Structure 1
Amino acid sequence: MLSDLLIANLDNALRTLTGLQAGSDRPYPGEEVPDTLLRPWERQQAGRMMRVNHAGEVMAQALYTGQAAGTADPELKTQLEHARTEEEDHLRWCQTRLRELNSRPSLLAPLWYGAGWGMGFLAARQGRGTNLGLVVAVENQVEEHLNSHLESLPMDDERSRAVVAQMRDDEVGHAATAESLGAEKLPMPVRMAMGVFSKVLTRGALWI
C-alpha cells in the first residue's frame, strides 16, 4: 500500500537524521585500533573529513531508500535494501568516529537526504538497468573519494583509516554486485551532474 510505503520511507528518514538507524550490527572497524591522534588541529582536520563521509552516508541511505521505493522488482528491492543496511553500518561508524573526535554531523544533512532520495526514486522509475547504473556510478565516485581520504587523513589517524577502508571495500562490493545484475552506464551529462553535486556536498559538509 502507498501509505505503508510512505510511512516506511519517513521512518527511515527520521532514523537516519537522528542517528537511530539499525544496520547489521557489524563491529566498529576502529575498535581494536589505538586512537593515537593527539594534535588538536589534526583531530579537527580528521573530524571535518569524517563529517564529509557522514554526509555521504546520509545521502547513500536516502539513495537506496528511494531506489527501493521506486522499483516493483522484488529481487532488486531486496538487493537495494541489503546494501542500505550496510550503509547504515557506515553511518553508525562515522557517527562513532565523529564523537571520538569531538566533531559533529553536517547541519545540511536534511538537504543531502532529500537530494539522495529524489535521485534514487527517479532512477528507479527509469527501469532496472538505470536503477542499477546509478548504484555503479555513485559507488565508483564514493570509492574514489574514500581512496583520497585514506591518503589525506592525518598520518597518525589509523583509527579513522580503519573505518574508511572498510567502507571503501563495501562500496566496491555494491558496485560489483550492481554490474553483475545488469547495470547500464548512465549518460555522460548525468554522470557529470553527479560529479558536480558530489563536489557541492563535499565542500558544504566540510564546513557546515
Structure 2
Amino acid sequence: MLKLPALPGLPKLDTLVAEFDTVLRTLAAPATSARAHPDAHIDDTDFDEAEKRHAAGLMRVNHSGEICAQALYQGQALTARDPANREALRHAAQEEVEHLAWTERRIEELGSHKSVLNPLLYAGSLAIGVTAGVIGDKWNLGFLAETERQVGAHLQSHLQTLPVQDAKSRAIVEQMYRDEMGHADIAVELGAAELPLPLKALMGVTSKLMTSLSYRF
C-alpha cells in the first residue's frame, strides 16, 4: 500500500482525515460537558426584551469565540512538534468543548441562535492555528497565550455589561475566564515566546471584528 510522505512540521494525510471528524462534531453536533454546567444550580430570572437580546448576543459572541478556539487548538496541535505541547493543546481544547456546551445551552435558554458565521470563523481559525504550529512550538505557544489573554479581556468586559440579574450567564463567563487564564499560564510554563506588539495589535483588531459580527449575526 502506497503511503504519502509527510512534510516536515505538517501532519500525515491519515491524521488530517481523522481530524475532519472533529470539524464536523464542533460545527454540527451538540457539545457535551464532563463538568457540571457552572449555572446548573442557579435559577433564571425575568428580563426585559432588550436585556435578553443583549445577554444572548454576548453569549453568542462567547460561543463563536469557543468555535474559533477549537479550530485554533486543533490546528496548533496538528503541527506542534513537542508531544508535551501537543498534549497541553489537546487538553485545553477539551475544556473549550465544555465552554461550547455551556454557552450553547445558555443561548437556547435565552431564546436566541448561534452565529451563522461559525463555519467561516472555524475555517479561518484553523488556518491560523496550523500556520502558528508550522512556525515553531515557542511561537505556537506564544500565540496561544496571547489569544487566551485577549479572550480573558473580552470575558471581563462581558461581566461589566451583562444584566445584573443574569446570574446564570455570569456564572458561565466567570468559569470560562478562570479556564482561559489557566490555559495562558500553561502556555507560558511550556516556553511560550512573547509575541511582537504589532502582531498582538492585529490579533486585537481581528478579535473585535469577529466579536462585532457574531454579536449581530
**TM-score normalized with structure 1 length:** 0.96
The answer on 1:41 being equivalent to 2:68 is no
Give the aligned residue type for 1:172: M
- Cα distance between partner residues in 1 of 2:176 and 2:92: 12
Look up the match of 1:59. 68
Instruction: Give the SS at the match of 1:106.
Output: coil
The answer on 1:50 being equivalent to 2:59 is yes
Q: Write out per-residue CA displacement over residues 102-129 of structure 1, whole angstroms, 9 at most, x where no aligned residue.
A: 1111100011101111111111111111
The answer on 1:165 being equivalent to 2:174 is yes
- Cα distance between partner residues in 2 of 1:119 and 1:53: 19
- Cα distance between partner residues in 2 of 1:149 and 1:31: 20
Look up the match of 1:2. 12
1:15-30 alignment runs, 5 A limit:
15-23=25-33, 25-30=34-39
Gaps of 5+ in 1: none
Aligned pair count? Answer: 207
How large is the Cα RMSD of the aligned pairs?
A: 1.2
Runs of 4+ more than 3 Å apart:
19-23
Q: Write out per-residue CA displacement over residues 26-85 of structure 1, whole angstroms, 9 at most, x where no aligned residue.
A: 111111111113322211111011000000000000000000011132111111000000
Look up the match of 1:202. 211
Rg (Cα) greater in structure: 2
The answer on 1:176 being equivalent to 2:185 is yes
- Cα distance between partner residues in 1 of 2:176 and 2:157: 13
The alignment-based identity, stated in percent, is 43
Instruction: Give the SS at the match of 2:91.
Output: helix
- Cα distance between partner residues in 1 of 2:196 and 2:49: 44
Look up the match of 2:162. 153
Gaps of 5+ in 2: 1-10
Tell me by how many angstroms 1:9 deviates.
Answer: 2.1
Given candidates 122, 132, 150, the residue that maps to 1:141 is 150
Tell me by how many angstroms 1:20 deviates.
Answer: 3.5
Tell me by how many angstroms 1:197 deviates.
Answer: 0.5
**TM-score normalized with structure 2 length:** 0.92
- Cα distance between partner residues in 2 of 1:204 and 1:19: 23
- Cα distance between partner residues in 2 of 1:146 and 1:202: 11
Equivalent pair of 1:64/1:81 in contact (CA under 8 Å): yes
Instruction: Give the SS at the match of 2:38.
Output: coil
